[in-house]
Every structure is written in C-alpha cells, then in structure tokens.
C-alpha cells in the first residue's frame, strides 16, 4: 500500500532539496565549471596542469603514507582497546580520543618545539641544526591526528564482531593466527577499507599542516591556499582544486556505493562479549605496548602544548610566563565566543536537518531520494577548503549570488559581508553527520510504529514530535556532539569566508602558528581544547539531567495515577 504524504511534508521536502541544490551542488559545480570553463582556462594548458600534477604527486605521497600508517594503527588500537582486557584500558580509551578536540595541525606546535631548528631534541639534545620541514613532518603530524579517526571508525565496527564465527573456526581446528588471518580480518575488511578511504580524504584535505611544517614540500590543498591568499591567482587555484577533487570524489564514491554494501556486520547488537578469553602473552604484550606508546605520543603532544603556552619564547627564552594566556583573556577572547556560537548553531541545525532528511528518505518514500542522499553526503567528500572556494565562486555576487542578475552593473563583491555564509557552509557540511546518525537509528525502528500512530488518529506533525522525535533524541545528541566537536576545530571550509568581525579561534591559531609565534599558538590551542572539553562535559551533564528529570516526572505521574 502506498502511503500518501501530506502537502506539508512535500513542501518541506521541496525546501530541503532546494537547500541541498543551492548550498551544496551549486558550489561544487561552480568549482568544476570555474576550473574548466573560465576564459583561457589553465586546465588545458600543459604548464598549469604540470604544475598541479607535481602537487598531486606530493599530496598522494603524503596521503598514501598517512592512510597506510594511520589505518594500521587504528586497527591495532581498536583491537587492543576493545578486545583485550587489561588494567587502565578505560583511561586509554578516553585519551585516544583527545586529538578530536584539536585541529590536526596543532601537532606541529609540539613538533616544532621538539624537532624544529631550535627544538628540544634536534637542537639541544643532538646538537643538530637540520630542517625538520618536509613531508615526514606532515606524515607524523597527520598520523597522530588521523589515527584517532581511524580508531573510532574501526572500533564502532569491531564492537559488532560475531565471536561465534571465531569460535566456529577454532572448533574446526584453526589456531589463533589462522583465525585472525582467515576470519577476523577478512570480515572487517570492508570497514577497514572504508576507514582507509575516509582517512585518505581527511589527509588530502588538510592544507594547514603542509603550510606550517611542509617547507618547500606543498600539497594540492596547501597550494590552493597559497594561490588564493598569497598570489590571488584564482585560476591556478581552480586547476589545483579540480585535480584535488577528482581523487577525493573517487574515494568517496567507492566508499559510499561499493564498500558499505559489502559489510558483513549485522546491525543487531550481539550481547556476547568480544574480549578474547585467552590470548597469547606475547601478542598481548606487543599490542598493549604499541597502544601505550602511541598514546604517549598523544600525551607528549599535549604536554608540550601546555609547556609552550607558558614559555616566553621557545628555543630562546625559557622563562615561565603568563603573558600568552593573559593576552588571550584580556584582548582576544572574541574568537572563542565566535567559535562556540558557530559550532553550537551549525551543529544543532545541521544535525536536525540531517536527521529530518534521513527520516523523510527512509520513512516517507519520497521521489528523488537517492539524489537527496547523494547531495547531502557530498560535502563529506569535498575537501573543506575546496568547498569554501566553491562558496566563494558561487556566491561572490550580492544576496547569495542572485544579485548577479539584479545589480548587473555592480562588480562582484566577495560575499557582500554576510556573516551568515559561514553558518550556511557549516550547516551544509554537518547535514551529513545528522544523516548518518539518523540512518543508524532508523534501521532499528519499525515504520509500522508510525502507521500505528496514524491509526490512532494522530496527525503527521503530531506523530513526528510525539513518536519519532523522542526516539531520535539520542541519535540527535550523538550527532550534535560529533558536529560540535568538529565545528570547534573546522578551518578549511570557512577560511576564505571569514571576516575580521567573525574570526574564530582555529583561524587565530593557524595564523599565529603560521606566523611562527609558537607560544601564543600553544596558548590558544590549549584554551580551545579545554573549552571544547568543558562544553562537551556541560552538554553531557545537561542531557543527562533532562533525561533524569523525565524519569522522575514519569514516576511521579505514575504515582499520581494511583492516588
């Protein structure tokens, strides 16, 4: 039986499609069109192409190395922290997530403090004065940041491991090595590959680390930044952008349409524990040591950020100082407020929109659902900086681009100073987070429940808010937390769209560190991390209090019935 959707739902759906087309497809198409079509495009000139291909090679060298190392690390971390029992595991599980509260490039602060020209290890201990700048620095810093991403993606699938399959193999005579090789790893392969592709995307999109630590070694993404801010060469930028876009979209399409369908894991939660009952002592020792070493790297990274924040000038003057922090508190707190506002609003709206789209696609069986799904997830594939350029190109005329046809005699203005544009681009990016959260939830909800509500006479809106919304609340919160955390540290998408008045903290860190001021950079990074952690704590507490109050209220109501 085909279910009839009310006008309201259709109008809503139409508006959403409009939003997706206008704020996602149009900017992405603009990049492509601009790169290929603009008058005397460099795309077809050998010189321009050759130049960009050189950067592509650099990008690929870095991204392939980072992907390989970070994915393997993620797999080992996920195994150790989820399948092996040992003391202190809970703490390590928390620490491994720390990199999420900082943009990846902050690692370069500690890196410079340790290995820089006047670094602690390279210069003071070894007396060297070699340059640390180059591809290996980029790889090290990205691996430190992205292994956590790999970890969290693989851990979520490892938790669904069906241990009876391993028991079956053991029962058929396979030893633990055989089982790992022939059962456990092959079963996880689709998830591992899709993790690898997401790590690859993140690494390709990172322009800030190469800029800070790459020296002469620049990548496509960082070249984009240089072309636009340093040389004001939009044409070269567009060529680099296009060449960057191709492997990213390819990786995304493979991940989305090929790998996800292959997953062997079922969504049903298996109650049995996934910890190994018995495990070879050497293997256990190796895995735990590996994890401990990796996490101590994360620890060292933060330790030196803290040290840096309170040191006058690293490498020259090691006196303790509060000047960096004082300056922050006194003069430069505005960017933090902006960051919080931006992250909070866009994470809420993005998550809400994403969940709404998930609901409409899965439950309402509306037209164009594949297209909507594709458009809503596309921003995950497009490197942030490129997406930002898309906005720059698409909306360089007043009134979000429409002005081109109205005020035909006006020269293009960059975004006409609308502060809302950074909100729009972030919402566009976070829809994907909400969408995935929504899908994951709706797998477990029977659409009949909704129909039952209609049968009982409830209207569409009432049903959504009374039946669906309470169920979706947890998923919304999860999506919000993820988007908020990422919103606090996003730079790529908004860097070209920010104006002095709405400067955010990450941008501040980037500018300061890029300008070589380690101490101030460390102080802002530290503050940003602590602030993010604090806010996450506040959100969790509030969410739990609200839940708790509801339980109390429900119990009271129940008591009242009996009175």
Interface with another protein (CB under 8 A): 162, 164-165, 167-175, 178, 182-183, 186-187, 189, 264, 277-278
Tokens linked to 68: 């390989």
Pairwise CA distance, residues 419 & 502, whole Å: 7
CB of 75 to another protein, least distance (A): 17
- If the CB atoms of residues 181 and 312 are measured against another protein, the closer one turns out to be 181
Describe the crossing of helices 369-381 and 420-442 by its angle, rounded to 10 degrees: 120
Instruction: Pick between residue 124 and residue 181 the one whose CB is nearest to another protein.
Output: 181
From 117, 102, 193, select the one nearest 153 (Cα to Cα). Answer: 193
Residue with smaller CB distance to another protein, 171 or 319: 171
CA distance 64 to 62: 6
Strands (DSSP E) contained in 189-276 are none
Closest separation between CB of residue 167 and another protein, Å?
A: 5
| Apex 56 CA angle, 55 and 60, nearest 5 | 120
Can you say whether the dihedral through the CA atoms of 247, 249, 251, 257 is positive or negative? negative
| Residue 178 or 547 having the CB closest to another protein | 178
From CA 98, how far away is CA 100, in angstroms rounded? 5
Q: Least distance to another protein from the beta carbon of 425, Å?
A: 40
| Smallest separation, CB 71 to another protein (Å) | 19
In the complex, least distance from residue 67 CB atom to another protein, rounded to whole angstroms? 23
Shortest CA distance to 430 belongs to which of 344, 371, 351?
351
Q: What's the closest the beta carbon of residue 278 comes to another protein, in angstroms?
A: 8
Identify which of residues 188 and 356 has a Cβ nearer to another protein in the complex: 188
Whether 430 contacts 351, CB under 8 Å: yes
Q: Are residues 304 and 113 in contact, defined by beta-carbon separation less than 8 angstroms? A: yes
CB of 162 vs another protein, minimal distance in Å: 8
- CA separation (Å) from 452 to 6, 387, 467, 560? 17, 43, 10, 28
φ, ψ of residue 311 in degrees (nearest 5): -115, 135
Nearer CB in complex with another protein: 193/369: 193
Which residue, 187 or 298, is less far from another protein as judged by CB?
187
Nearer to another protein, 266 or 319 (CB): 266
- SS3 assignment, position 41: coil
Write down the least CB distance from residue 176 to another protein, Å. 9
Rounded Cα distance, 63 and 204, in Å = 6
């Amino acid at each position: 039986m085909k279910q009839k959707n009310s006008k309201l739902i259709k109008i809503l759906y139409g508006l959403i499609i409009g939003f997706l087309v206008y704020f996602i497809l149009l900017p992405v198409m603009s990049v492509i069109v601009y790169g290929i079509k603009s008058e005397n495009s460099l795309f077809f000139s050998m010189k321009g192409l050759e130049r960009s291909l050189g950067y592509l090679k650099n990008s690929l060298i870095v991204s392939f190395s980072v992907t390989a190392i970070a994915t393997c690390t993620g797999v080992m971390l996920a195994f150790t922290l989820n399948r092996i029992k040992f003391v202190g595991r809970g703490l390590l599980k928390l620490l491994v997530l720390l990199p999420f509260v900082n943009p990846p490039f902050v690692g370069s602060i500690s890196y410079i403090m340790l290995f820089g020209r006047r670094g602690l290890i390279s210069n003071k201990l070894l007396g060297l004065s070699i340059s640390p700048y180059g591809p290996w620095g980029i790889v090290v810093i990205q691996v430190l940041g992205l292994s956590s991403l790999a970890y969290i993606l693989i851990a979520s699938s490892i938790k669904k491991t069906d241990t009876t399959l391993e028991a079956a193999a053991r029962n058929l005579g396979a030893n633990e090595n055989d089982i790992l090789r022939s059962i456990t790893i092959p079963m996880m392969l689709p998830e591992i590959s899709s993790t690898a592709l997401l790590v690859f995307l993140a690494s390709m999109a990172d322009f800030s680390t190469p800029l800070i630590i790459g020296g002469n070694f620049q990548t496509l993404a960082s070249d984009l930044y240089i072309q636009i801010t340093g040389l004001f060469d939009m044409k070269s930028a567009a060529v680099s952008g296009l060449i960057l876009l191709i492997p990213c979209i390819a990786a995304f399409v493979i991940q989305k349409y090929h790998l996800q369908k292959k997953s062997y894991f079922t969504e049903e939660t298996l109650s049995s524990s996934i910890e190994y009952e018995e495990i070879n002592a050497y293997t256990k020792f190796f895995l735990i040591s590996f994890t401990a070493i990796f996490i101590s790297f994360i620890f060292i990274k933060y330790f030196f950020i803290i040290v840096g924040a309170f040191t006058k000038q690293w490498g020259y003057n090691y006196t303790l100082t509060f000047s960096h922090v004082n300056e922050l508190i006194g003069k430069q707190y505005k960017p933090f407020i902006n960051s919080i506002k931006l992250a909070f609003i866009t994470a809420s709206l993005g998550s809400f929109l994403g969940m709404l789209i998930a609901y409409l696609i899965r439950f309402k069986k509306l037209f164009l659902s594949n297209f909507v799904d594709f458009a809503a997830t596309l921003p995950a594939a497009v490197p942030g900086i490129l997406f930002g350029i898309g906005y720059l190109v698409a909306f360089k005329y007043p009134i979000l681009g429409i002005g081109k046809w109205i005020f035909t005699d006006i020269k293009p203005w960059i975004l006409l100073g609308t502060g809302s544009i950074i909100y729009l681009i972030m919402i566009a990016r976070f829809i994907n987070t909400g969408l995935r959260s929504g899908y994951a939830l709706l797998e477990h909800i029977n659409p009949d429940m909704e129909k039952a509500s209609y049968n009982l006479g409830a209207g569409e809106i009432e049903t959504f808010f009374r039946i669906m919304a309470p169920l979706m609340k947890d998923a919304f919160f999860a999506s919000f937390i993820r988007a908020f955390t990422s919103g606090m540290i996003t730079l790529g998408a908004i860097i070209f769209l920010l104006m002095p008045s709405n400067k955010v903290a990450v941008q501040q860190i980037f500018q300061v560190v890029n300008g070589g001021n380690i101490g101030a950079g460390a102080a802002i990074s530290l503050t940003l991390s602590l602030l993010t952690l604090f806010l996450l704590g506040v959100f969790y507490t509030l969410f739990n209090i609200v839940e708790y109050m509801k339980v109390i209220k429900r119990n009271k109501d129940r008591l009242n019935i009996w009175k």
